[in-house]
């Protein structure tokens, strides 16, 4: 191995792989295979998600532990791999994973990226030059040597075709378990808190964006809290869909070049490390030839996104104004709303949540198409996995972050305007609905039409026309009583 300076004065080293020599940045922990991918795929400038890189660290460490237990890998090599892989699992060295999302559809470039980085981290730990991982003198004896080769040792019993989909599942399941579900629980708790606190506030209901019968503000927020509870359940179902891991299927799901117990043992190691109950795929061909589990999880994430968009949109509608809109809610002012209109405050947090929902819906469409027959899933392998990984992991991250922001920057300081709620109720034509059982639909409709034509309230018209005595009208036109079945 030699180091040289390129025309751009970048110091490089020369490495070899099965395709020949390749110049690699001298300080890079990756090798020739990764550098080829960097040159082949300068497409988006977005590398594979950091969560997938961390998942690879956990996976490679688990595989090394199992290979030691199965006497396939000597302890020195195995422990060296584990130590390096665990650094990656902790989020270190992410800058050495530069391969674009839009790469080989199996994720082979990223798998080799992980293999090379781990092998070179072992070189660093052993005090030998980076890039020595294919030097026979460094590697030593096949059985007893301590040098680590990226393919023979780091990738032992594995294939890109089973490690990359496994890394997707690990990353997504971990992030759902650790980030999304806790964020949704916070959201549910805050909405339920508001529902309880505001249960005595009556406001006008709206259907088709038109006045409807009264409803308690607490009832509306109880509905939102229930949406959040269902979102938690959906996130848990998404997690469940991802618990089966493809590891152990190697190239096409047959398990060639691996131990029969490799899959179950690796899953056990991962479960112990991450606190998520992973299990081996029931059928490795299904697990590798298609990514139905990712489509299922993404669909559930999309449903969560739609729930969040409904809640956020309702809040911004009820907070519209503050004087010329609905104005039943006082949306907290978190930043100036306009560069030209002084004093304007906009529902920017709601808008951000709604945009997240739009992005998640788009991500779901990409994940779906990435698994469609003839597009991503073809015969014995899905070949759209890096794109699926990016979109699935992004959706989880966006939903978790948006939920937290919605709680922290809006819901906690959201307030009702009770005076405005009362004002709008009394002027609503839908108040006549409670009179229908007593005076009939047609007579009630006539009252509403007259109230609209004269600018009077339904109560005022009913009193003026002597429809019922005032005590009976007060009973029937009590807004709170209209929010209960009777």
CATH architecture of 3-131+150-156: Orthogonal Bundle (1.10)
Mean pLDDT score of the chain: 95
The CATH number corresponding to 165-419 among 3.30.1330.60, 1.20.200.10, 2.70.150.10, 3.90.650.10 equals 1.20.200.10
Whole-number Å distance between alpha carbons of 429 and 205 = 11
Asked if the model's pLDDT at residue 453 lies above 90, the reply is yes
The predicted model gives 300-311 an average pLDDT of 98
Catalytic residue check, 58: no
Residue 339 has pLDDT above 80, yes or no: yes
Tell me the pLDDT band of 8, cut-offs 50, 70 and 90. Answer: low
- Predicted confidence at residue 68, as pLDDT, reads 97
Please tell me the predicted confidence (pLDDT) of residue 5. Answer: 53
Q: What mean pLDDT do residues 437-465 have? A: 93
Q: Is residue 374 very low, low, confident or very high in pLDDT (cuts 50, 70, 90)?
A: confident
Q: Coil, helix or strand for 416?
A: strand
Domain boundaries, the chain: 3-131+150-156, 165-419, 427-483
Q: How many percent of the chain have pLDDT more than 70?
A: 98
pLDDT of residue 338: 82
> Could you read off the pLDDT of 187-215 as tens digits, one per residue?
999 999 999 999 999 999 999 999 999 99
Number of H helices, E strands in the chain: 18, 11
For residues 131 and 138, the answer to whether their CB atoms sit within 8 Å is no
Average pLDDT value for residue range 433-446: 93
The alpha carbon dihedral of 83, 85, 87, 90 has a sign of negative
Q: What CATH number has the domain spanning 427-483? A: 1.10.40.30
Active site residue 338: yes
**pLDDT for the residue numbered 406:** 98
* Cα–Cα separations (whole angstroms), residue 57 to 148, 252, 297, 376: 16, 23, 23, 26
Residue with tokens 């688990």: 62
Q: What are phi and psi of 245, to 5 degrees?
A: -110, 135
Closest CA to 286 of 329, 322, 244, 333: 244
**Active-site entry in 27, 44, 338, 481:** 338
Beta pairing class for 11-17 and 3-5:
antiparallel
With 90 as the cut, is the pLDDT of residue 16 above it?
Answer: no
Mind listing the pLDDT tens digit for each residue in 318-327? 999 988 999 9
DSSP run (H or E) holding 297 = helix 292-318
Cα separation, 182 vs 399, in Å, equals 11
CA dihedral (223, 227, 230, 232) positive or negative: negative
Which tokens go with 69?
A: 């237990």
CA dihedral 117, 293, 310, 195 (to 10 degrees): -90
Which one of the listed residues 8, 208, 339, 484 is annotated catalytic?
208
What does each C-alpha distance from 104 to 96, 111, 200 come to in angstroms?
A: 18, 11, 59
For the stretch 346-359, pLDDT in tens is 999 999 999 999 99
> Is the pLDDT reported for residue 7 higher than 60?
no
Which residue, among 119, 146, 113, has the nearest Cα to 132 in the 3D structure?
Answer: 119
Cβ contacts of 9 within 8 Å, gap of 6 or more: none
Q: How far apart are the first and last CA of the chain?
A: 86
What is the predicted pLDDT for the residue at 1?
A: 55
What are the φ/ψ torsions at residue 217 (nearest 5 degrees)? -60, -35
CA distance 70 to 157: 11
Quick check: 3 pLDDT over 70?
Answer: no
Torsion of CA 86, 90, 95, 100, to 10 degrees: 90
Q: Does residue 439 register a pLDDT over 80?
A: yes
The position carrying tokens 């509608």 is: 317
Closest-CA residue to 483 (of 287, 199, 226, 140): 199
pLDDT at 17: 85
208-231 average pLDDT score: 97
Q: How many angstroms separate the CA atoms of 348 and 409, rounded?
A: 10
Indicate the range of 86-90, 269-273, 414-418, 432-436 predicted with least confidence.
432-436
Contacts of 332 (CB under 8 A, 6+ apart): 409, 410, 413, 414, 415
* Chain segment 257-266, per-residue pLDDT in tens: 999 999 999 9
Q: Give pLDDT, residue 161.
A: 97
List the Cα angle 449/453/459 in 5-degree steps. 65
Comparing 7 with 154, the larger pLDDT belongs to 154
Q: pLDDT value at position 9?
A: 67
Write the CA distances from 9 to 4, 28, 29, 35, integer angstroms: 9, 15, 19, 18
């Amino acid at each position: 191995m030699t180091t040289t300076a390129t025309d751009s004065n970048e110091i490089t080293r020369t490495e070899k792989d099965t395709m020949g020599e390749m110049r690699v940045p001298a300080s890079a922990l990756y090798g020739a295979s990764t550098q080829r991918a960097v040159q082949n795929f300068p497409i988006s400038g977005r590398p594979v998600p950091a969560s997938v890189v961390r998942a690879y660290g956990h996976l490679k460490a688990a595989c090394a532990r199992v290979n030691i237990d199965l006497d396939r890998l000597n302890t020195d090599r195995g422990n060296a791999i584990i130590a390096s892989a665990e650094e990656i699992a902790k989020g270190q060295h992410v800058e050495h994973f530069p391969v674009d999302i839009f790469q080989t559809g199996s994720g082979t470039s990223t798998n080799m990226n992980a293999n090379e980085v781990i092998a070179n981290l072992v070189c660093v730990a052993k005090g030998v030059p980076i890039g020595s991982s294919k030097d026979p003198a460094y590697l030593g004896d096949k059985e007893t040597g301590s040098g680590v080769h990226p393919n023979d040792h780091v990738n032992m019993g594995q294939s890109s075709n089973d490690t990359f989909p496994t890394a997707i599942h690990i990353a997504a399941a971990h992030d759902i378990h650790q980030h999304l579900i806790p964020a949704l629980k916070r959201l549910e708790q805050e909405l339920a808190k508001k529902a309880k606190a505001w249960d005595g506030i009556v406001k006008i209901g709206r259907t088709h964006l038109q006045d409807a019968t009264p409803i308690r503000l607490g009832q509306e927020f109880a509905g939102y809290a229930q949406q959040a509870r269902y979102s938690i359940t959906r996130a848990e179902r998404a997690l469940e869909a991802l618990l089966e891991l493809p590891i152990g299927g190697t190239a096409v799901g047959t398990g060639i070049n691996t131990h029969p117990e490799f899959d179950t043992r690796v899953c056990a190691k991962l479960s112990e490390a991450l606190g998520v109950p992973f299990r081996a795929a029931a059928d490795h061909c299904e697990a590798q030839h298609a990514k139905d589990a990712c489509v299922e999880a993404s669909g559930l994430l999309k449903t969560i996104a739609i729930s969040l968009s409904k809640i956020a949109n309702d809040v911004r509608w009820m907070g519209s104004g503050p004087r010329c809109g609905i104005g039943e809610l006082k949306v907290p002012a978190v930043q100036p709303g306009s560069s030209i209109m002084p004093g304007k405050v906009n529902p920017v947090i709601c808008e951000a949540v709604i945009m997240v929902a739009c992005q998640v819906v788009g991500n779901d469409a990409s994940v779906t198409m990435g698994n469609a027959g003839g597009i991503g899933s073809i015969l014995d392998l899905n070949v759209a996995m890096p794109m699926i990984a990016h979109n699935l992991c992004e959706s989880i991250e966006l939903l978790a972050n948006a939920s937290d922001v919605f709680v922290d920057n809006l819901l906690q300081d959201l307030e009702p305007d009770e005076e405005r709620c009362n004002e709008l109720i009394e002027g609503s034509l839908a108040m006549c609905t409670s009179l229908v059982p007593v005076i009939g639909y047609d007579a009630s409709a006539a009252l509403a039409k007259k109230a609209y034509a004269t600018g009077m309230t339904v109560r005022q018209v009913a009193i003026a026309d002597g429809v019922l005595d005032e005590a009976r009208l007060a009973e029937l036109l009590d807004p709170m009583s209209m929010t209960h079945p009777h």
